[in-house]
Structure 1
């Protein structure tokens, strides 16, 4: 009889002990970290799949465009005297060894006017932003300065001079490349380069009338190209001016130079932007001898952003999953402690699983709709499910309303944090401070000494 009473007493203590209940709730929270980690992996997997599909769309339409040119290329000769011993004359003979090198000269002025027509291309549930850019390029070349290398006029191979343009996207070009130098037109042909990321286009040898030997020579050309995500330019002109208009309403101006803030306009119908870059603003010279340098780091332009990245926001929401589960369990624990209603660990587990279902609903619905709609539907579904379930286990409409209000406030608070970027930490810290203060005020009158004894 004494043993049965001890067993009954021990079982009763297990049910009524606050310490035991706290330990069980803590263990359940740790257990629920497992499905949350799987949900995070699911989001990353779906995001990676999105990147694969977007990359495939962009490759077929045309990747990002980076324009580098036009550049005047003029070969020149160098001489090296080599002494050779002649057995017949018993003396040294001098041999002139001639080597041919390349000199590259950037334009004096470079003006680019481009209109970017963008659109969304989709495959299945994924989409990418692509564009077609119509460019008008004009400028001028001044007489090249070979004196800085002490190159004699007779060593300059003017008859082998050409003009080259480098671009990262040859697949997307939708017009014949033809450069007008002075009064002559020169088609540009593709040339092999060792840099697999850059495509080079070069004219045939320039005629005498097109060479800037003594006078300035003006050039112009038109280019139509399909691209995706980014459109950038390298400011090779002594003075480079770029004017861009587009129907895309979410641009991100990037690179070493930003557009003029006085002329920049962004609206729901698109944007307008103008850049002006001078040689003094750059880190490279106006001419190069030998090889063209790698100056892609000096590029500037625009990136066309898709306004909402559903997976990024879903991943940010899951980071607060631990907070949601812990605070919800805490509310149930406080209600259980105050009302003396027994909540079984299995019921805590069901509530926790319902909370994790919010994130799977959020991901699946946001793939077919907006994040706001998905968040609202998932939140309402989970709040209703847990509220109805709490009415069954707590047997009180008052407690049911408290649970529903707490969940609504918590999901609203997290949604606000997700939308914010610059003030997310500030708002989150203030919100958590208020939540902690509320819990401290509610729990201050609980008799923690009564541990089921």
Structure 2
């Protein structure tokens, strides 16, 4: 028995060295083991990304949040009447008593034109930054003479002398100027009135309201023309609710990556997007939306009809790093496959520990990428991390493989692989297509190279 065990150990050791199956199992096991540090690296990237988002939210909260404008809306008080019967003990009869109630009608403009000029910039805090903007908005248009007879409201019941104009916004704190309504030839200053706490609203809106209007401006046979200029500090997006019977909006900005959001898209024929910014204009007709121009008792929730522009970062540094880390398994597997093919074809022995060192060097690429990208742009970080790892593995493989051609081949292969992954990360619409074609070509190359291997040997 003492002579059998050493012989069995030697046979097992020789099998590990000479068997292709054993080497494949060993390489596969190491790839699975290296998924553990890869998962930790992905968790680190997500943690840094969440930290960045917290900082961005803090910056945006202090600078100004997203901008949603709802208005201007003409608010008209009117009287309604109800009768109650009161029993009179003296006369033993019922007396009728008429009570007067005050309600409100909300009238939307016949025409609403909005011109928006946006200047974006970057605010930094530590290693993190947030894209914010300053916007100047001009709202203009007109109201037609009001007729509420269709709502069973008589003209004499409207309290014209207590009419006002309402403007709602999601970014009260970001307003940078005194908001003034120019109605015909008179000016009215908006004041904060109350908060709209309607639970049905997706976005909490603050209300600005003028004082009482000169009734000659709204109770006549002529249109009432208005203009409002308002400036915001904001972030994320700008939206407008199309309450005009005809609503036009023109937007111009130096932001190069706009995302047009909401129920209505800008005119494709006049839309311009370049590296220097964009121009876009919208036109929404009353036939395009499902609400009327007159509403009673309360301002309706119309946030679902809002449209505008989201000022988005297409792929930020952490998202790029996270997407890059998702290809970590592919990089390790393909690199091990190259070493496995070299080992099998050239009969050079590579120890499992050497495979492990190569795999750990590959995982270090992602920690270098994340840490350097926090202090530089993604391209520089990718070049530094990639070059460092490729040189390290190439020099290390020189000591393993003892020749120059195989390390050079490995270095070139890793360079091509990291370049391929970088191209995929930069692509948005064609990432899947390019990735699929690239993997198909890699598979074809592996099949071609491995055709000379005698798979029956072990």
Kept in 2: contact 1:239–1:278 (CA 8 A): yes
**How many angstroms apart in 1 are the aligned matches of 2:354 and 2:399?**
11
Partner of 2:347: 340
- Please, which of 267, 279, 282 is the counterpart of residue 275 of structure 1? 282
**How many angstroms apart in 2 are the aligned matches of 1:387 and 1:98?**
90
SS across alignment from 1:10:
helix
Please list every run of 5 or more consecutive structure 1 residues that lacks an aligned counterpart in the other structure: none
**How many angstroms apart in 2 are the aligned matches of 1:7 and 1:120?**
65
Partner of 1:171: 173
**How many angstroms apart in 1 are the aligned matches of 2:280 and 2:394?**
52
- Please, which of 293, 315, 319 is the counterpart of residue 312 of structure 1? 319
Tell me the alpha carbon deviations over residues 91-115 of structure 1, each in whole angstroms, 9 at most, x when there is no partner: 3322223322111000111122222
CA positional deviation for 1:7? 3.1
CA positional deviation for 1:307? 5.0
- Please, which of 408, 412, 416 is the counterpart of residue 409 of structure 1? 416
**How many angstroms apart in 1 are the aligned matches of 2:354 and 2:237?**
52
- Within a 5 Å distance, the mapping from 1:358-377 to structure 2 comes to 358-377=365-384
Distance 1:7 1:242, change over 3 A: closer
SS across alignment from 2:172:
coil
Partner of 1:51: 53
Partner of 2:335: 328
CA positional deviation for 1:308? 4.5
SS across alignment from 1:192:
strand
CA positional deviation for 1:201? 0.4
Distance 1:211 1:10, change over 3 A: closer
CA positional deviation for 1:83? 2.7
Tell me the alpha carbon deviations over residues 232-258 of structure 1, each in whole angstroms, 9 at most, x when there is no partner: 111111111222222222222222222
Tell me which moved more, 100-109 or 179-188.
179-188
Asked if 1:398 corresponds to 2:400, the answer is no
Partner of 2:141: 139
Kept in 2: contact 1:64–1:227 (CA 8 A): yes
SS across alignment from 1:249:
coil
Tell me the alpha carbon deviations over residues 344-387 of structure 1, each in whole angstroms, 9 at most, x when there is no partner: 11111111000101111111122222222221221111111111
Partner of 2:229: 222
**How many angstroms apart in 2 are the aligned matches of 1:308 and 1:10?**
51
- Within a 5 Å distance, the mapping from 1:222-241 to structure 2 comes to 222-241=229-248
Kept in 2: contact 1:163–1:202 (CA 8 A): yes
**How many angstroms apart in 1 are the aligned matches of 2:219 and 2:396?**
84
Partner of 2:184: 182
- Within a 5 Å distance, the mapping from 1:13-412 to structure 2 comes to 13-195=15-197, 197-412=204-419
Tell me the alpha carbon deviations over residues 44-100 of structure 1, each in whole angstroms, 9 at most, x when there is no partner: 111111111111111111111111111000111222222333333333322223322
Kept in 2: contact 1:139–1:218 (CA 8 A): yes
Kept in 1: contact 2:266–2:280 (CA 8 A): yes
**How many angstroms apart in 1 are the aligned matches of 2:29 and 2:340?**
14
Task: Give the TM-score, by structure 2 length.
Answer: 0.94
SS across alignment from 2:150:
helix
RMSD (CA atoms): 1.7
Distance 1:249 1:430, change over 3 A: closer
Tell me the alpha carbon deviations over residues 239-285 of structure 1, each in whole angstroms, 9 at most, x when there is no partner: 11222222222222222222222222223332222222111112211
Kept in 2: contact 1:232–1:300 (CA 8 A): yes
SS across alignment from 2:419:
helix
Kept in 2: contact 1:141–1:212 (CA 8 A): no
Tell me which moved more, 146-155 or 10-19.
10-19
Task: Give the TM-score, by structure 1 length.
Answer: 0.95
SS across alignment from 2:420:
helix
Kept in 1: contact 2:163–2:215 (CA 8 A): no
SS across alignment from 1:363:
helix
